[in-house]
Amino acid sequence: MEDTPHPPSAAADAPPRDSIEIAVPVFNEERVLEASVRRLAAYLRDQPLRWSVVIVDNGSADRTWEVASRLAGELPGVSARHLERRGRGLALRTAWLSSEADIIAYMDVDLSTDLACLLTLLAPLQTGFSQIAVGSRLHPQSRVERGLKREILSRGYNLILRLVLGAGYGDAQCGFKALRRAATAELIGDVRDNDWFFDTELLTLAERRGLRIVEVPVAWVEDRDSRVAIGRTVLQDLRGVLRLRLALWGLGSRMEVL
C-alpha cells in the first residue's frame, strides 16, 4: 500500500479537467440529511472542482426521501434518487454505474470524515497516480476519535482481512472513497455484495486485478447516533470474508475474480 502524494496545487484560473460525483447513501437519515448535504454543497462550492452530489435513498421508512427530493430541487449540483431495496452497497453500485463523472466517490451522510480531507483523497486520482483512493483511520497520520468498542472491532476486522484474504489495504470500511470511473466500472459490476461488505469486496478484487489503491490519512470523529447495527454487520462481513476466500480458491462460487 502506498502513501498518497501531496495534492498538486492548481492555478486559480485553470479549470480542472476531471468531473467528480459524490454519492451519499442514506437510510432513515431525515434527522441529519439536510444539514449535512447543505454543508457538503457549501464546501464544494468553494473548491476548484467540477462537482455534483447524488443522494441515494435506499428504502428509508421515514421522511428521508422527502428531504432528499427537496434538497435536489433547491441546491444546484445536487440530485436524488430513490431505491426500494435496502443496502449501502446497492446504493453505491447504482449511483456509480449510472454516473458519467470522471471520478466517482462517496462519503457517509454523518460527515464523520472532515471535509478538508477531500482534496487529499482526490489528488492521486487527478494526477493519474492511482485508480482508487481510500480514507484510512488506521493511517499513522490520521486523527481519529471513537470509542474503544469501535476501535477494537475495526482493528480486529482489518486484521482478519490481512490474515484470511491477504489484504494490502488497511481500513476497508471507512466511508470515504474515490475511484476513477473508467478504470473501475467493470470491477464495480463484478462485486456481489449489496450491503456493508461491498467496500471490502471491491478493494479485494481491485488488488487481485492489479489496480493501484492509495490510502490517505483522515480526521474522523465517530457518530454516536449511527444507523449501523454493529452486531448484524459484523456477522454479515464475516460471512462475506468466507465467501470471498472460497471464491479466491475457486471453491463454493463461480464468481470470476481474475
Query: What does DSSP assign to residue 113?
Result: B
CB of 71 closer than 8 Å to CB of 32: no
CB of 219 closer than 8 Å to CB of 143: yes
Q: Please count the residues of the chain.
A: 258
Question: What whole-number distance in Å separates Cα of residue 90 and Cα of residue 194?
Answer: 5
Q: Is 114 a catalytic residue?
A: no
Of 199, 223, 225, 237, the active-site residue reads 199
Closest-CA residue to 118 (of 110, 107, 132) = 107
- Listed in sequence order, the residues at least 6 apart from 6 whose beta carbon sits closer than 8 Å to its beta carbon are 120, 123
140: amino acid identity, one letter: P
Hey, which residues are catalytic here? Answer: 199
